[in-house]
Amino acid sequence: MATYAIGDLQGCYDPLRRLFDYIGFDPAIDRAWFVGDLVNRGPASLEVLRFVKSLGPAASVVLGNHDLHLVMQAEGYGKPNKEDTLEDILAAADRDDLLAWLRAQPLFHVEGGWAMVHAGLLPAWTVAQAQALSDEASAALTAAGYRDFLANMWGSEPAAWSDDLAGWDRLRVVVNAMTRMRYVTAAGAMEFRAAGAKAPPDKGPADCLPWFEVPHRASADHLIVCGHWSALGYRDEANVLALDTGCLWGGCLTAVRLEDRRVFRQPCPQQAKPSGWD
């Protein structure tokens, strides 16, 4: 049995199937961890969703910002983007089943000394606290009144965590940290708007750090597997494994076997032109 962590797919189905063939993935004994952003901007989001869902217990998925964008679009919330490629899903006969499955996926997944999140964890959060907060968000996404959550989910404020936060503000911070964050200020606030907020660390916003470089980060006792940051690319450090290697942009799709940190890659044809660091 092997556990493979796999970078952002964004609707790139053919590279995923080639990667599975290359590593000899066997869903009867192996496990695949998907770091989120299964869909959007690539050519085959519907096929990706159907395939990953079909893996059943062999797949562990965390939600990314593009996955939540799909859920919101399906319910009439948020603004469509001219670069979206979600029409096939929204028109599919099995859309309701697929979307219900997607909403049921968590923002955070923990297993032993490993943990997976799409974007990151605020520096003050322990892994146990992050798991509890992810559970709160999942309860809201799967509740009978989940559309109320969707109506209040998007937005960049509050930018910082406080244990006193409640209601939609509390859940919005959780969603933003786990699906959108790259940089934080010295005070621990998320930075989304400054110049360079999507750029690699050597070109990032002034007076900010990548979330995983904050000294004394409370989640540093686990290996955090993440994606979301194609400008960062592949990074394997003692407690961070970043896997967004730009498959959508013509980079490669990366998998890492967690048991021994062996890297497997498949080259990807360019499916979209970068419009900044996404």
Strand order in the sheet with 190-191: 190-191, 183-185, 208-210
Tell me: the pLDDT tens digits for 15-54? Answer: 999 999 999 999 999 999 999 999 999 999 999 999 999 9
pLDDT at 152: 96
- Answer whether 10's CB lies under 8 Å from 39's CB: yes
The domains located in the chain, with CATH, are 3-267 (3.60.21.10)
- Answer whether 15's CB lies under 8 Å from 253's CB: yes
- Answer whether 63's CB lies under 8 Å from 36's CB: yes
| Residue 145: alpha-carbon gap to chain centroid | 24
Q: What is the mean pLDDT of residues 226-246?
A: 96
pLDDT at 236: 96
pLDDT at 100: 98
Q: What is the mean pLDDT of residues 147-174?
A: 97
CA–CA dist 259, 175 (Å, integer): 29
pLDDT at 134: 98
Q: What is the mean pLDDT of residues 126-145?
A: 98
Residue 272: which pLDDT band, with cuts at 50, 70 and 90? confident
The mean predicted confidence, pLDDT, of the chain is 96
122 pLDDT higher than 90: yes
pLDDT at 171: 98
Tell me: the pLDDT tens digits for 144-158? Answer: 999 999 999 999 999
Q: Which residues contact 3 (CB under 8 A, 6 or more apart)?
A: 30, 31, 32, 33, 111, 114, 257, 258, 259
pLDDT at 278: 57
CA–CA dist 195, 270 (Å, integer): 26
Q: 169-172: long-range contacts (C-beta < 8 A, 24 or more apart)?
A: 170/136, 171/136, 171/137, 171/140
Q: Choose among 197, 236, 237: nearest CA to 7.
A: 236
Residue 78: which pLDDT band, with cuts at 50, 70 and 90? confident
Place of tokens 């999507």: 198
Tell me: the pLDDT tens digits for 84-116? Answer: 999 999 999 999 999 999 999 999 999 999 999
Does this model's pTM top 0.85? My answer is yes
CA–CA dist 108, 119 (Å, integer): 10
What SS3 state is found at 152?
helix
Q: What is the mean pLDDT of residues 221-248?
A: 96
CA–CA dist 153, 173 (Å, integer): 9
139 pLDDT higher than 60: yes
What SS3 state is found at 194?
coil
How many CA atoms lie within 13 Å of 9's alpha carbon, on the beta-carbon side? 32
69 pLDDT higher than 70: yes
User: Which amino acid, 152?
Assistant: N
CA–CA dist 24, 167 (Å, integer): 45
Q: Which residues contact 67 (CB under 8 A, 6 or more apart)?
A: 36, 37, 38, 39, 40, 102, 105
